[in-house]
Amino acid sequence: MSSPGSVNSDPAPPFMVRLFYRAGSLYQVSDFCSSPSPPSIEVHTWYSCTLYELALELADARPSAFPSPAVGTRLVFQLISPEDDDSDNEGSSRARFSAKDLGSVVIGEGGPGAEIENDPATERRERELPRTLDEARFLEGDYISCAILAPMSDGSVAHASLAKVNVGSTRSRHRQNQASHFGPGRRPKGTRSPPYSGNTVPMGDWDRNYNMDYYGDRGSNSRNRW
């Protein structure tokens, strides 16, 4: 606690990140154009913020969104960027977004129930990946999207690619479920330590190697940051 008369010299975070989250799969870019918008939290932070810190913020703000126990849960992150407005023939505009994979964090990684074995090529790639929002070329106004993947039925850690297997509009998947008794519908075309106490989240990795062809339109209006 600061002594009487002392001044806190720590600068305030320069901007706010809106962190969207969902259990089981990532959102599709079209979900960010719908109303109401998907569930999210606000994180006031710096460009030096890492996936580790984003995971910690989400776990602290929304513990009920995680399985219990949370050890072995994988959080998969994407950068959601607004594109320039498109105007139709009548002059009206609509919002458009593109998505880029950032990587994942595994709660309790390396500990009991969260063992992960990477091949040498994967480990080498992970060492070369960006670690901060700045390195990921995050701009103010961008969103971060997160999928929360519970451990598999055998207790193993879910692969990050599973966050995309079930990707789809929340509304469209609901309609498909109503029409069929065989699960959430078709896959999208183009198919990417001690028990967790809520106070610590282990280090994760940034990964930019998933195929994003079915995420949004990267036409001439894209900001071409990648």
Strand-pair category, 143-149 with 74-82: antiparallel
| E-state strands within 46-87 | 74-82, 86-87
Q: Decide: helix, strand or coil at residue 23.
A: strand
pLDDT given for residue 28 in this prediction: 93
pLDDT in tens, 118-168: 555 545 555 555 578 998 899 989 999 999 999 999 989 999 889 987 665
Interval 82-101 mean pLDDT: 69
pLDDT given for residue 41 in this prediction: 97
Q: Lowest-pLDDT range, 2-11, 42-51, 69-78, 130-139?
A: 2-11
Contact 130, 136 (CB under 8 A): yes
15-85+95-155: CATH topology: Ubiquitin-like (UB roll) (3.10.20)
Nearest to 173 by CA among 65, 58, 22: 22
pLDDT exceeds cutoff 70 at 197: no
Q: How confident is the model at residue 94 (pLDDT cuts 50, 70, 90)?
A: low
Interval 41-46 mean pLDDT: 95
Single-letter amino acid code for the residue at 174: H
Q: Lowest-pLDDT range, 12-26, 69-83, 120-134, 211-225?
A: 211-225
Nearest to 171 by CA among 19, 37, 20, 21: 37
Interval 9-14 mean pLDDT: 78
Q: Lowest-pLDDT range, 37-41, 125-129, 209-213?
A: 209-213
CA dihedral 198, 203, 209, 215 (to 10 degrees): 30
HSE-up of 225 (CA within 13 Å, CB side)? 16
Work out whether the CA dihedral 216, 221, 223, 226 comes out positive or negative.
positive
Q: Which of 63-72, 89-98, 108-117, 180-189 has the highest mean pLDDT?
A: 63-72
Q: Decide: helix, strand or coil at residue 149.
A: strand
CA atoms of 50 and 43, how far apart (whole Å): 12
pTM (whole model) above 0.85: no
